[in-house]
Every structure is written in structure tokens, then in C-alpha cells.
Amino acid sequence: MHESLIKYISNHAVTPLTESDLEIIKKSFTPKKFRKRQFFLQEGEVCNQLAFIVKGAMRQYSVDGKGGEHMIRLSIENWWAGDRESFSTQTPSKYFIDAWEETDALLVTKNDFNDELKSIPAMMEMSRVLDERHAFALLNRVNASISLSVEQRYADLEKNYPEFLQRFPQHIIASYLGITKETLSRVRSQTMKK
């Protein structure tokens, strides 16, 4: 169960994990199963855990006044889930996070996570690398949203995250791109013709 997390940390750090590091990690990351549609976080709650996804898929989204869902982030195996802003600042989250598929995750609390960052160099390195990549991905998404057509944004997604298209239904992909499912359906059929 913890194997994929340990492999993941090793892959994203230069400092190797010691035996005692492994002990700490196994102790502080506790496995949890999520059923389809089960919430990991709800709007208004403070996010006090992060989840490493071992198997399955989760989504993070905001809900507007009319009940419409807007996909902020999609995560599958070997990705993290959690609202980083709420987690770091201990303020209520604006988002929901739930399991889209049956999911196996490893949960870590804020305290344990912070302790690990301090005592395990590899953990710190991995965390920095990921935060950095995450910021790059977000800026690219902002750039796409203000500079590309719907068709180009979809092509971008297909190129950069092809897994998403196979794991999530189109209405979720559409929401992630900031459009309706009908528009996505039409854009796709247009593109197919060419």
C-alpha cells in the first residue's frame, strides 16, 4: 500500500530515504478507501489532511449559486488531492473534493506532514519540486484560458494529460475547460471531420 508513495517520493528527490524515514512515513500516512462520490472535503471545511492517491480518481470543484460544478483540478493515481490554500492557511475551503472512482488513498495530517518536511530531506525536496511544477501548470492553464480557443485548449489537454480524457466523462472535461458539455461535444465533432 505504501509502496507506490515511497517510490513516488524517491523519484522526486535526490536524497535517498533511510530505513527510519520509511518507518515514519508508514506510520503517518494512513490508508483510506473512498467510495464513488464520497467526499474528502466539503466547502466551508478546513482541509487538514492531504491525500496521496494510490488507485482511483478524485476531483476538486467549486459550486456556483445555481448548483453548477466547476472542475478546478482532477487527480488520478500518483497524484495528490487536497486544498493547499486551506491546508496551509487553515481557513475554510471554497471547494469540494470527492472520489470520482472507487479510490484508495493515503492520508496525512498537517502536523505529521510538517514534521516530515522538517525531518526527512527527501520529503522536503519532493514537496518543493511538486509545488513548483504545480505553479507552472497553473500558469500554463491561465495562459491557455486567456489566449487559446476552445479547440486549442482541448487539444492541449489531450496532449498534456491524455489520461484525463479516458478517466473522466466529457461533462467533467468540459467543466475543467470552462465550457459546457454541449459545446465540447460540438467542438469535438467539428475537429473529427478535419
Q: Rule CB under 8 A: which residues touch a copy of itself?
A: 62, 64, 68, 70-72, 84-85, 88, 94, 131-132, 134-136, 138-139, 141-143, 145-147, 175-178
The length of the chain in residues reads 194
135 vs 165, beta carbon nearer DNA: 165
6 vs 69, beta carbon nearer a copy of itself: 69
| 145 makes contact with DNA (CB under 7 A) | no
Count of residues touching DNA (by CB under 7 A) = 18
61 and 67 Cβ atoms separated by less than 8 Å: no
Site for DNA in 151-170 (CB under 7 A): 169-170
76 and 53 Cβ atoms separated by less than 8 Å: yes
| 149 makes contact with DNA (CB under 7 A) | yes
| Radius of gyration of the CA atoms of the chain, in A | 18
| 128 makes contact with DNA (CB under 7 A) | no
Distance CA 88, CA 28 (A): 18
Choose from DNA, a copy of itself, none: what does 88 bind? Cβ within 5-8 Å by kind: a copy of itself
Choose from a copy of itself, DNA, none: what does 185 bind? Cβ within 5-8 Å by kind: DNA
88 and 117 Cβ atoms separated by less than 8 Å: no
Name the residue among 105, 98, 100 with its Cα closest to residue 32: 105
Distance CA 81, CA 50 (A): 6
Which residues make up the interface to DNA (CB under 7 A)?
36, 149-150, 169-171, 178-189
